[in-house]
A and B are shown apart, each in its own frame.
Chain A
Amino acid sequence: MAALEELEREYERAKRDKKFQKRLQELLRTYAGRPTALTFARRLTQKLGGAKIYLKREDLLHTGAHKINNCLGQGLLVERMGKRRVIAETGAGQHGVATATVCALLGFECVVYMGTEDMRRQELNVFRMRLLGAEVRGVESGSRTLKDAINEAMRDWVTNVRTTHYLLGSVLGAHPYPTMVRDFHRVIGREARAQILKAEGKLPEAVIACVGGGSNAIGIFYEFIRDKKVRLIGVEAGGRGEALGEHAARFRGGSPGVLQGTYSYVLQDSAGQIATTHSVSAGLDYPSIGPEHAELRDAGRAEYVPASDAEALEATTLLARTEGIIPALESAHAVAEVIKRAPKMKKSDVVIVNISGRGDKDIGILRENLSLE
């Protein structure tokens, strides 16, 4: 608790500190590559024959996903707190890579916890982390995926709390993480809103994003929450079936519960044991969801729908062939939803899809699942 309170105090101070904000903006601009483009998907729009589709290109950000927005923010906080050791959990590896990147940039020791199942399916990222100087520790317990990596990271943190900062990668965990991580990703929506107004002279009818923990989604949604006419659509991992354990659609089968310091919708059994989940995409494979998403959904402000493994894989191929963009499997879930939705919308409607990351890390899985010859 003391560490969480220290972090909250430090974060509140940093929020008001103009020098901190200036330094963060500068790193986002000159190091990470912000602002990211908002790309009009001309051929995809034509093919679907409905709404105009714009893609927010977080895949173009340094390290290949949105994760670094948060890592840079927390990295600068670590500096302020005078800690020199950083630990993180990672699912698909993008957050691990972004953390290792920022630790190399700022000179911190870095340990990343990753489920051994995820290490197998996202080998490229494991190598990148090690090349960047991080130690990657495989987690063998439980389902050997993201939830288990978080458990191990938390155990490390309580043991080493005096010297170590836990750089949590999504809008999960105890306060202040969900708020802080969301704030570091708000830049996505801020940019997208200004960019679409410039491109189309109006706000979009819908904004679509995939939701694992929920960081890229809340990052793009937040700025549009007050624009009541803009529909906010989160896409969860529909996996390979509807039974518990076959998917990671928290709003389809979950109920309120507490996991890893957060009270939100959790996939669990009738005795309150947390369920295992499945998704072809490691980054969506998590049984709970960011509490702010739970709030948006319960308030009716945002809606959450599933996309299956098969739909995500098809969407990957379609986006690659119509726009020359290979999305991360996570982001492909958002693309899968726009493929269903755009044809039913007017041609004058505008939809923004958050491409939260690029798909290089998924080549192995794509090769296993697609027959391209």
Chain B
Amino acid sequence: MPLSFYKKPALVVYVTCGDPDLATTREIVLAAIEAGADVIELGVPFSDPVADGPVIQRASERALLHGTSLAQVLTLAAEIRGYAQSTGLVVFSYLNPILRMGMEKFCMVTRHAGVDGVLLTDLPVEEAGEYLHAMRAHDLAPVFLAAPTSPDARLRRIAEASRGFVYAVSRTGVTGARQQLASDAKKLVGRLRRVTNLPIAVGFGISTAEQFEEVGKFADAVVVGSAIVETIERNRGREAAAVGEFVRKLTAVSPQLTE
């Protein structure tokens, strides 16, 4: 299933799988899809999430306490695929758990689960030879991060290697909701449009409907991560309902486009 962005802007929702537990994660994801999320990023918790701020750090720690593993996340992905045929699914992980499983085995299991794409936070495009080879062989879309500090030549390399969409990081920094959106984001998207025709999703720091609408003016998709994870943290016992409400608030701002 190709990653599709029918609405403008489309909504990409990130969750840390296993926080508070895998069964609840499934309910949360299905609620988000029902409320209008187009793509789900299934976050694999990692012991050393160097690109993440405190919210996702805490979620990862909680998920790891229950022993949440990459293998379990892939099983969950297959379950979700069983319920949601047209939602894009992306596995979002640091590199080490994938290396441990084995690149080839990972791609095979991931494809088999019905996942569309993979984003590896700490694998730069320069080091991605083996990964790209395995991903292409298994018809999976490799998604890469583009940063405001990436020079044009690097953006071109990222664009060439990417499939599905390009993830433009809105500012220099780690994940985490912010009151003000940096001006870096719009400029970066402009620079990316010169080197790719792929849809561009902007993420990091977006937490309100206003920010979603603002970013949606120049991006094809908006990624909301820490705000969702924090909603989960703050609504113990009714996580799925709370996330559903939050997602509905966001998607209320984007018009539905029919094919």
B-binding residues in A (CB < 8 A): 1-3, 141-142, 147, 150-151, 154-155, 158-162, 256-261, 266, 268, 270-274
Contacts and interface: CB of A to CB of B under 8 A. Distances in A.
Interface string B71-106: 100000000000000000000001111111100000
Nearest to B67: A271
B126 interface: yes
B71 A2 contact: no
B4 interface: no
A158 B100 contact: no
Contacts of B67: 271
Contacts of A154: 50
A2 B150 contact: yes
B47 interface: yes
Contacts of A268: 96, 100
Contact of B149 (A3, A141, A270): A3
A142 B45 CA distance: 13
A250 to B, nearest CB: 14
Given A256-B99, A272-B70, A273-B46, A155 B150 contact: no
Contact of A271 (B49, B100, B122, B172): B100
Interface in B169-193: 172-174
B199 interface: no
B96 A2 contact: no
Q: Report the 6 A-B pairs with minimum CB-CB distance, sorted nearest first.
A: A272-B100, A272-B97, A159-B173, A271-B69, A273-B47, A2-B149
Nearest to A261: B122
A270 B70 CA distance: 11
Contact of A1 (B94, B154, B172): B154
7 contacts: A1-B147, A2-B154, A141-B57, A158-B173, A257-B100, A260-B48, A271-B71
B70 A259 contact: no
A258 B126 contact: no
Interface residues of B, number: 33
Contact of B172 (A159, A258, A260): A159
Given A151-B48, A259-B48, A272 B98 contact: yes
Contacts of B237: none
A272 B99 contact: yes
Given A155-B50, A258-B95, A272-B98, 20 more contacts: A1-B124, A1-B147, A2-B151, A142-B47, A151-B48, A151-B49, A151-B50, A158-B172, A158-B174, A159-B172, A159-B173, A257-B99, A258-B94, A259-B96, A266-B96, A270-B100, A271-B70, A271-B71, A272-B101, A273-B96
Interface of B: 46-51, 53, 57, 61, 64, 67, 69-71, 94-101, 122, 124, 126, 147, 149-151, 154, 172-174
A274 B96 contact: yes
B154 to A, nearest CB: 6
Contacts of B61: 141-142
B150 A271 contact: no
B172 A162 contact: yes
A150 B46 CA distance: 15
Nearest to A2: B149
Nearest to B101: A272
B64 A258 contact: no
Contacts of B124: 1
B74 to A, nearest CB: 12
Nearest to B154: A1
Nearest to A161: B172
B175 to A, nearest CB: 10
A266 B96 CA distance: 10
Most chain A Cβ neighbours within 10 Å, of B98, B99, B100: B100
Contacts of A270: 100
Most chain B Cβ neighbours within 10 Å, of A155, A162, A270, A273: A273
A274 B60 CA distance: 13
A141 B62 CA distance: 12
A159 B97 contact: no
Nearest to A160: B172
B150 A257 contact: no
Contacts of B151: 2
A162 B96 contact: no
B122 A257 contact: no
A155 B48 contact: no
A260 B96 contact: no
Contacts of B95: 258
Nearest to B53: A155
B8 to A, nearest CB: 30
